[in-house]
Structures are given as structure tokens and as C-alpha cells.
């Protein structure tokens, strides 16, 4: 992935935090017929492996599952806050002569998937529900599927680990623009897109005029 030193994340925690906040990724694998793409939810185990391990699942009928069973290299792409940056938000100094751009945060997780057995898949599904239902009012629990509810579904699902062999992250948040221009964009985004504005503030806080 093309990047510049200015776009490095502030810390590994920022990278892991983006993965956990997104929880959903585009997975790309090269197969005999070309690229295969699926869109899947993930749980991140930060402590397993040097770069963490992702865990996910997909329908057993999904052709992507055969490539996962073969352990073919895959990349999971997680997208964070992003949005169009208009020069209309920049101060005239004396003119607004910077071009429009798009700010974004993205993480690429490369690795070779490892299929899970039925027990591992069931354990993953329980954990995924716990993560996604956490802090919800009147949260849903897997046991509400009723007797045999999990057992009926497991044969149609393939779970897998994706140990992260290579981790790439790009947090393009206006660090390479003039600070007064980026500050103007942050001010405009405070109401329009507070998540993007907050990330831009964090990644430009060290800069001085």
C-alpha cells in the first residue's frame, strides 16, 4: 500500500483500535480464476501472534471458503473514518490554493487463513456475538436460538483464523497539508463528521505553525 511517513499511525493501539471499531472487512484472495472478494465480520485477538490474529466465518457454500481451506494468502481490509476534504473550508491566505483531497484511515492485514473445526467455529460465533452485543440495552444472546439452534447452523458455516503476518496502516489525516488548512477542515467537520474530525485532531496535535 502506498503511503508516506506522515501518515504513520500514532501507535499499535491505534491500529488495533481501528480494526475493533470497524469489526467488518473486505477480504481478498487470489484463486485459480482470479481475485475472490468477500465481506466479513471479524474478532481481533491482540495477544495471539506478533501482530495479533483475526477470527471470522463465512457460509460454507461461499466459493471463497475453498481458498481459505487451502490456506491461500489473503488480505483483510478495514476502513476507518474517511471523507472528502473541501478547500472551501480553508482560510483565504490570500487565496485557497490547495486542491481537494480525501482523508481516510485504513488497515491491511495480510496472512494465510487456518480453517477451524466445528467446535472452534462455534466458539468464535459465541465470542463474536458477545463483542457485537456488548453494552446494548436488552442484548441478544446465542441461547435465544433455542434447542438445536446452533447445531443446525454450524454445518453451513466455516470458521477460520487469520494470523496477521504483515500489518499495513495508513492514517491520512491532513498531516501533509498546511496546518491552517487542516485546522479549517477540522473546524468544518466538527459537526458534519465528528469521528473524522477527532481523528484529524489527534494526528495533527503535534504540529506547530
Tens of pLDDT, residues 2-11: 999 999 999 9
pLDDT band at 192; cut points 50, 70, 90: very high
Q: What is the mean pLDDT of residues 164-168?
A: 97
pLDDT(42) > 90: yes
Give me the percent of the chain exceeding a pLDDT of 70: 100
Model pLDDT, residue 102: 98
- If pLDDT is split at 50, 70 and 90, which confidence band does 114 have? very high
Give me the half-sphere count of Cα atoms (radius 13 Å) on the Cβ side of residue 102.
Answer: 8
Mean pLDDT score of the chain: 95
Instruction: Say how far residue 85 (Cα) sits from the centre of its chain.
Output: 21
- Taking the alpha carbons at both ends of the chain, their separation in whole angstroms is 30
- 39 SS3 class: strand
Residues paired with 28 in a beta bridge: 37, 75
| pLDDT at residue number 94 | 86
Task: Give all strands of the β-sheet with 24-31 in edge-to-edge order.
Answer: 34-41, 24-31, 74-85, 101-111, 166-172
Task: Give the pLDDT mean for 90-97.
Answer: 89
- How far is 106 from 73, CA to CA, in rounded Å? 19
Residue 145 DSSP label: G
Residue 167, C-alpha cell as written in the block: 500489518
What percent of the chain is predicted at pLDDT more than 90?
A: 90
Helix, coil or strand: residue 121:
helix
| Sign of the dihedral through C-alpha 183, 184, 190, 193 | negative
**Number of residues assigned to the chain:** 209
* Cα distance between residue 81 and residue 21, in whole Å: 10
The contacts of residue 203 (CB under 8 Å, 6+ apart) are: 10, 171, 173, 174, 175
Amino acid at each position: 500500500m502506498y503511503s508516506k511517513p506522515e501518515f504513520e499511525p500514532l501507535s499499535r493501539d491505534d491500529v488495533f483500535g481501528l480494526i475493533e471499531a470497524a469489526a467488518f472487512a473486505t477480504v481478498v484472495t487470489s484463486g485459480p480464476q482470479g481475485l475472490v472478494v468477500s465481506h466479513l465480520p471479524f474478532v481481533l485477538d491482540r495477544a495471539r501472534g506478533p501482530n495479533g490474529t483475526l477470527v471470522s466465518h463465512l457460509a460454507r457454500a461461499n466459493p471463497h471458503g475453498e481458498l481459505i481451506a487451502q490456506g491461500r494468502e489473503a488480505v483483510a481490509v478495514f476502513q476507518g473514518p474517511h471523507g472528502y476534504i473541501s478547500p472551501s473550508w480553508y482560510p483565504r491566505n490570500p487565496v485557497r490554493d490547495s486542491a481537494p483531497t480525501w482523508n481516510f484511515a485504513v488497515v491491511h492485514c495480510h496472512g494465510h487463513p487456518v480453517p477451524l473445526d466445528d467446535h472452534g467455529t462455534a466458539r468464535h460465533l459465541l465470542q463474536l456475538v458477545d463483542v457485537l452485543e456488548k453494552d446494548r440495552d436488552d442484548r441478544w444472546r446465542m441461547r435465544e436460538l433455542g434447542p438445536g439452534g446452533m447445531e443446525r447452523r454450524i454445518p453451513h458455516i466455516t470458521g477460520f483464523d487469520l494470523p496477521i503476518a504483515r500489518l499495513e496502516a495508513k492514517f491520512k489525516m491532513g498531516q501533509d497539508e498546511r496546518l491552517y488548512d487542516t485546522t479549517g477542515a477540522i473546524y468544518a467537520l466538527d459537526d458534519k463528521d465528528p469521528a473524522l474530525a477527532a481523528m484529524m485532531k489527534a494526528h495533527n496535535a503535534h504540529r506547530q505553525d
